[in-house]
A = this chain, B = another copy of it.
């Protein structure tokens, strides 16, 4: 239960946290934002896709008249590298309750701009939504934090796939039932679950949920596959503003076929509310 979990170490607040610093975008001209992709959010050598989504989501929050991402669809085109980047945004439609925008992230490569990902997103105001909840979804059944494990608990940290720079930014405690892969005995079930927060104690908000849906080790590890599982497309729905405190994240894969798999993520906040749902299509090497 979230209530019994220790809060992540108190530290930076919104605005000065690692997450806010590293997803910052600086307006250069209308619809053009400079950014610097931090090496702190890489898995092995790849910049994490959820981090990229949060950064682009921040640029869209500047562009659009509504503050919060409601549904964000990203198609990943080429692998991003740490370093300078530019985000170009466009308003597609500005409505009363929802507005839709488009954004692309580019990096220079060999003297020309290469597009890394393209995003379509609809934004609204989470605080303006009615308070009704008629969900039948149940939060994942996670053991208490002290019975879960993070990269720091591994005897040989370097041997754990995914133990990369991003591990130092996250406060991640995984359900041992989904950690067979780390011990050489993957369960064969496409499940990954754990407690999620930011290592410096920065509290969750709609932008950090865009990171949370793509920050756990891939379910493919529990299916006995190793190596990179590049995202082709990821769509996230942000359904409510998350309460402070640790989040519960549950990811599942049901259909591994033809060299692709889907990853469905759910994020629950400390008040037991389903705050985000996402699905991605990813490639696997068999």
Interface residues, chain A, CB within 8 Å of chain B? Answer: 70-71, 73, 75, 77-78, 92-93, 98, 100, 102, 115, 118, 120-122, 126, 129-137, 189-190, 223, 232-233, 235, 237, 239-240, 254-260, 262, 273-274, 277, 279, 281, 286
Contact = CB atoms under 8 A, between A and B. Distances in A.
A70 B281 contact: yes
> Which of A189, A240, A256, A257 is most buried by chain B, counting CB atoms within 10 A of its CB?
A257
Given A120-B73, A120-B75, A237-B262, A132 B232 contact: no
Given A70-B281, A75-B100, A120-B73, A239 B255 contact: yes
A89 to B, nearest CB: 14
Contact of A233 (B118, B233, B235, B260): B235
30 contacts: A70-B260, A73-B75, A73-B233, A75-B100, A75-B121, A77-B92, A78-B93, A92-B118, A102-B118, A118-B120, A129-B259, A130-B259, A132-B257, A134-B257, A135-B257, A136-B189, A136-B254, A136-B255, A137-B254, A233-B235, A233-B237, A235-B235, A237-B279, A239-B255, A239-B258, A239-B260, A240-B257, A257-B274, A262-B277, A279-B279
A115 B135 contact: no
A118 B130 CA distance: 27
Nearest to A100: B75
A281 B118 contact: no
Contact of A281 (B71, B78, B129, B135): B71
Contact of A73 (B73, B98, B239, B273): B73
Given A98-B232, A130-B258, 17 more contacts: A70-B260, A71-B233, A92-B115, A92-B118, A100-B118, A102-B118, A129-B260, A132-B257, A132-B286, A133-B257, A134-B223, A136-B190, A237-B262, A237-B281, A255-B274, A255-B277, A279-B279
Nearest to A274: B255
A190 B134 CA distance: 10
A257 B239 contact: yes
